[in-house]
Structure 1
């Protein structure tokens, strides 16, 4: 390993600054650039991550926050600028971007240095005055990684500790047994019930992954050493997070107690949580089977399958796609003649129980039982704040996580001739954030950006010396459900309760994994005391999720995802993205993204090019297997090349993943990637929230001369738009206005909706800070009307059974105030999941307009325009009569009828310090605005 001196790097950086921002200078060689950590963005890279960088509060800080309302420095200083964009974007200019985004340049000017810390002689951590972000510079690679771990512990130690326990199914014993804590650890341990040996095997695998694997292992060891060095220093000094006092780990008087040191397997446990939240895709095949059977029960097998497929919208021709250049990337498409499909016998599906032997506050009258499954049900969001010993609702929602957006425009259409990008992950709002910002500079590492706390040995989303990258959740199908035949070792007849299964002709016992969790009263919750036991049965086809009978034979439905047991593998791809010696153009960027096995859409921009690549280990399925439905657990239907010992298989080659270079523009908001590429979710049809981005960016590109401010304005305008108001309300109004309105009340209501549509269908304040919406009554009417109109439009034709089954596959609504939606309340992210496409296609069919990829039948009014109009007007009348207090019933933080508050974003507390709520915006949590004017 080459060793580089700090003096050389500092001198080179000073030389770059001396050139001046606007001057064109000869580009240094790549080697020189890598040595210097040079910055080619010339002040045109910005980012933001609310609420603030600092996530460490001592017990005194927490008590002061609760009694005086004060907060430690840099706890919430990014929240105000982030929130203010909602009111300030219409007049935004490039010069004004600094009012809403932080400077993301490399380094810290001398007059902006707030503090420096050298936890080891070969690394310096510099904090800037504006944000407190750690800028970590090492003279050795080991020192850089040590500093990264040390800074992570400074800013997120408690959060990192929480999530290493979540990943092990040990949260309640660590943080208390409140209901939300129980739900969180149950959700993740069911999905990834790892033993310590499982976690260690992922660590061991790195050492066998070539030179980069060995380097990643060394980097991780240094990173963990940095975390532990901070713990060792903070404990006697009593400047560790005060949550350790509140939960009884440390005595606040005597300082007795311990903070457990970190180890490499903790990083794997953390990665398993992040991967499950944001980087997986597919699954849900049992629920799909139930809705398919409901369709077949109503219409017959052939017709019912056609109707179900029309709602599935696997490759809808009207769907907005990230790649619109004519490329097709077939994957997980429906086979012409499906083979091996394992549909359950009607009424036989029961969910595998997870929790047993509840005692004390865990009991609550609950009994372990197998619950009949009639419709898929994710975990219902549970409300609460950390003061009550619980974690927030946002993390308890169903695993379907649609997150993040990206807007990237090629230099051929910008004012400067250089690409412009506005992009970032939509990871939810927490205090402190799941992400943290950092700059890493050292041998082979040169990057600034965001990384998940506890996994910040590399920047995961951010910028390098002359390029930037970001990601959105892709969620393509890398998870399958297998119907595993049950058996008894003695040859007797098996039942649904049997714990042995057939593997390649042999009867094998299931692996029984258990976790016993107990908790005692803490300062945060002085009454809770209890315990329970979690149990998961694991097979070579993955953990058991359901049991049923198929053709009369008992089976266990298991879930197998390609990244299971491989959460650590992606570290090599992130290492490459941080390496200036590796990434220098679109091809090298795509080669780095190919090493990331999480399902993400990756976007890239430098001063000349833009690029896109869809990552993930896409398994090669056996011919004829339908990836959307359960399949028989037999060799003929396994993934090709499947090895259960380490959960590996044959994967589709990089060339078959959606990818592109220099398309005129890219937009992504968790929509379809490309023609032929199945995203594994319902609802990717004619109306999707990505349409809000696509329409605006397309208009900018047609006009030309796109700037950073113009692209940011497009993002911000979409962030305040009600998708229903912009893209579905015109259909509704066309039906309602298809005949004259004779009722004055109906005319008044419709006029309000028309005025709102003419105003852009926005959910925005009358003036910034007013906490009152413009077009408030129209917004209220739409919020009340949508669930009523969907039911009035579809339920009579579909029937109760099929309607219920399909709404379980895809929730009807996800407006900002819909706390029942997949994301939960006050979460910002909205309009990802809903029946917008179905309503649009159906109403256009009723109106006689052409519809590509039409639904299997016309439902509103049975296809009769007059009857459809009557159904819509009747539901509209009921909606208009609903008072605000009913539409917005209120919660712990909002009074009934408070529309703005119902929509507002809450920084859900993951620690003892709380932050203010802000007005709703549907935008990334961490966001970059970048335009590189130069290149190495």
Structure 2
């Protein structure tokens, strides 16, 4: 870089930094954050790249005993400017009017003359800090934008797969997404300008590094946004597999009883499930007489089709949480905000931090690759925002009637149409990615309905407009949000389905976003839709009909990917919204105190992050309650139960405080890990019989650290066992599962599960005495994929993309 450019840029940048910072005011009393993957992204891994990971790990053993001084020890500053985190260094850049200062954590503090300067600088920093990630992810992301059947684009990224894409793929993506922006008027055109300037900054850095990468294009930006949506921002689209389970149940139990059992399993409108919002928001009621659906014959899906339909559900990842406490329950009289997305642990990280300053703009937080100068999660001068995946029903599978014996002609609105064809590219070692399309979307595969061959297609509400997700973040970053009204309006722009959390110095609020289809009233949203054109979507749920709430009477808004509101139907792929959900651990920990400070809210989150819900939650009431109605078959099984109950009394934490490789709870964790899948099988097998394996494929075998304590059929075990004990529910099961409703038979099957687990553990641990068993903490230590950063940390289930700890004590003059 020429010295004249370096000096001129540094001088002008200094002047700009003074002018901007002099006029800015930070209304945060406390502003802290942590990103365990850190800011660094280079190879070889630089010294200090794991500093934030080690800080993050330091909080874990504190459980709920977090003191105010611990916050500044295990979180770093999120105030504006670099002064809180120096020593710092100026980074020269070849653009007049841009200044970048790196702090001790390598976080870039960026100052510009205007928004376009920030866009350019954000692109420059993206390649500098996440060039490896961009190089690996930009081409696999095309498959997410296209909804290529059977392709988990994120697994291609993490698996370091080499991908080649076609010009056809890029033309489709660029045409669709650019059109979506232009149709969005002035705001869409402004976002397109941001994107183009962001691309210029990224390509400037590529040239500076003399990189062999092809220049970044709009298709890259659009596709990476689609990839984020595929991982975190969609729900539903698994109707075919679920309907095959219904088909199997009806074939064995009869049409009426099979449908009854299946309806219990769907947990579509369970009034006993915990919700974040107290107000009722009706959506997706099941029609009494559904004529717009097809039930796919059990086992009729082709192998390739089965993989494709399964992939639609498996790409969803739901691990994020937020805890927001209102001012009337806080010690400082202002809202408390502890929140962040859980996106896994990677090096280079999937997010990177930026501090952005320009006239009228003051924002800091986590950006995403392809964020176009916007912050994904962060804070402005007097407000903060965050996201959790909502999993609401944005996707559907359609059953296409084939014409004239052809696999590529289908019936739509009275005439036969020829399917489209897309050649998307090649995956090294896997081959060509080619597929057909209908008016609804890509064809996933073929199956039969009533013995007749059909095609299964996939429709996603955000398809072709993924980039519009950035509108919400642009408004947040640009400071256009200043109160509840503008917050709701910003959140409503997202086509992806997320629960958006918001706090300022007076308010806490949440809004459940996403382009949510209004389905034909003759369509059961839990089943595939007949694709002949009679049962198409009828529009979108209006913004104010989305679940939203501010400042509830309880003074608390907690979410851990649970159902947002009563009356809001679960998506077809979300069968876990039942009587037990991990958000109850957050609720219980917050409920221990009427008045909170940021340390106690952080402690409530940190405790839940290592608690085992199978023991800490109500399912243990059911398991122990049934077992205690009769004697144990052996002293060993009784001792196993006693150890679990003692662990529960101590908080049911899986923490390894001393990092000695053993969970502090001794035998209890491994007992529950071994016995729980057997208990779940014992509860469900009497009714499900040969369909038990199908349900387990859909919902997982166990609820554990590997699943983030979601799924694993725990909601069925919880409600069925407690119902058997006489606990009343608002939405009781019509089916009696365990022991087919006979308490003695159920108890015997559960004790047998303990006996079998005891035999297994005795063989593994070399002793029949449970008190001498141990639980391996090293086996569940967190590793940073794909292995470039070798540091490991204790197991914890808390936000990893960024976690913010904030409280605001003032506000700009104007609110809206």
Normalised TM-score (structure 2): 0.90
2:475 aligned partner: 576
Counterpart-to-counterpart distance in 2, 1:884 and 1:595: 56
Q: Is the deviation greater in 732-741 or in 133-142?
A: 732-741
**Could you list the per-position Cα deviations for residues 877-929 of structure 1 after superposition, in whole angstroms to 9, with x for gaps in the alignment?**
111222388599xxxxxxx997212211111127xx32311110011112111
Deviations 1:382-428 (A, max 9, x none): xxxxxxxxxxxxxxx92232120010011111111100011100101
**Structure 1 counterpart of 2:433:** 534
Instruction: Give the aligned partner of residue 724 of structure 1.
Output: 614
1:935 aligns with 2:814: no
**What is residue 77 of structure 1 aligned with on the other side?**
51
- What's the counterpart of residue 152 of structure 1? 126
Residues 476-491 of structure 1: pairs in structure 2 closer than 5 A? 476-487=392-403
For residue 660 of structure 2, what is the aligned residue in structure 1?
A: 770
Q: State whether structure 2 residue 581 is matched by structure 1 residue 685.
A: no
Please name the residue that 1:863 is paired with: 741
Residue 315 (str. 1) matches residue 269 (str. 2): yes
What do the CA deviations read for 1:718-749 (whole angstroms, capped 9, x no partner)? 00100101112232112212234463222322
| Structure 1 segment 387-406 matched on structure 2, within 5 A | 398-406=314-322
| Pair 1:214 & 2:193 matched | no
Deviations 1:202-245 (A, max 9, x none): 1243234222111111111111111111111112xxxx6xxxxx
**Structure 1 residue matching 2:739: 3-state secondary structure:** helix
1:128 aligns with 2:103: yes
Change (3 A) 1:346 1:41: closer
Q: What SS is found at the alignment partner of 2:281?
A: strand
The answer (yes or no) to whether the contact 2:107–2:354 under 8 Å persists in 1 is yes
1:814–1:833 Cα contact (<8 Å) kept: yes
Cα gap change, 1:661 to 1:731, in 2 (>3 Å): same
Counterpart of 1:851?
729
Closer/same/farther in 2, CA of residues 185 and 295 from structure 1, 3 Å limit: farther
TM-superposed deviation, 1:854: 2.2
Deviation (angstroms), 1:9 = 6.1
Aligned pairs for 1:418-429 within 5 A: 418-429=334-345
1:586 Cα deviation from its structure 2 partner:
1.2
**CA positional deviation for 1:574:** 1.5
CA separation of 1:421 and 1:189: change in aligned 2, threshold 3 A = farther
* Equivalent-residue separation in structure 2 for 1:538 and 1:923 (angstroms): 40
> Which residues of 2 match residues 6-405 of structure 1 at below 5 A?
10-11=17-18, 36-42=23-29, 44-57=30-43, 61=44, 71-109=45-83, 112-129=87-104, 131-169=105-143, 181=156, 194-235=169-210, 258-324=212-278, 327-352=279-304, 377-378=310-311, 398-405=314-321
In structure 1, C-alpha distance between the alignment counterparts of 2:441 and 2:125, rounded to whole Å: 37
Total equivalences in the alignment: 779
Per the alignment, do residues 188 and 667 of structure 1 end up closer, same or farther by CA in structure 2, a change over 3 Å counting? Answer: farther
- Match of residue 606, structure 1, among 489, 501, 504: 504
Tell me, in whole angstroms, the C-alpha distance in 2 between the residues paired with 1:169 and 1:740. Answer: 57
CA distance in 2, matches of 1:293, 1:401: 28
Match of 2:3 in 1: none
Question: How is 1:546-557 mapped onto 2 (pairs within 5 angstroms)?
Answer: 546-557=445-456
**Structure 1 residue 506 and structure 2 residue 415: aligned?**
yes
Does the CA contact (< 8 Å) of 1:473 and 1:599 recur in 2? yes
Aligned to 2:524: 626
Match of 2:556 in 1: 665
TM-score, normalised with respect to structure 1: 0.79
Q: Is the 8 A contact 1:52 1:74 kept in 2?
A: no
Q: Which residue of 2 aligns with 1:922?
A: 797
Kindly tell me: are residues 660 and 144 of structure 1, through their superposed partners in 2, closer, same or farther at Cα, counting changes over 3 Å? same
C-alpha contact (below 8 Å) 1:188/1:273 kept by paired residues: no
Report what 2:537 is aligned to.
639
2:591 aligned residue = 698
Change (3 A) 1:671 1:56: same
Residue 701 of structure 2 corresponds to 812
Gaps of 5+ in 2: 1-11, 146-152, 767-772
Residues 1:855 and 1:328: Cα distance change in structure 2 (over 3 Å): same
Once residues 91 and 68 of structure 2 are traced to their aligned partners in structure 1, the CA distance between those partners, rounded to angstroms, is 31
In 1, Cα distance between equivalents of 2:745 and 2:292: 43
Take 2:362 and 2:247, find their aligned partners in 1: how far apart are those partners?
54
C-alpha displacement at 1:505, in angstroms? 2.1
Contact 2:670 2:775 in 1 (8 A): no
Tell me what 1:834 maps to. 712
Asked if the contact 1:351–1:547 (Cα under 8 Å) also holds between the matched residues in 2, the reply is no
Residue aligned with 2:94, SS: strand
Change (3 A) 1:263 1:783: same
Shift in Å, 1:12: 6.0
Alignment correspondent of 1:908: 785
2:795 pairs with 1:879: no
CA deviations 1:655-703 (Å, max 9, x no partner) are: 1100011122111111111011123110211111111112222333xx2
Q: Does residue 749 in structure 1 map to residue 665 in structure 2?
A: no
**In structure 2, distance between residues paired with 1:295 and 1:186:** 40
**Partners of 1:203 and 1:265 within 8 A in 2:** no
Give the direction of change, closer, same or farther, for the CA distance of 1:377–1:188 in structure 2 (3 Å limit). Answer: farther
| Structure 1, 144-153 or 87-96: larger mean CA deviation | 87-96
How big is the shift at 1:272? Answer: 1.3
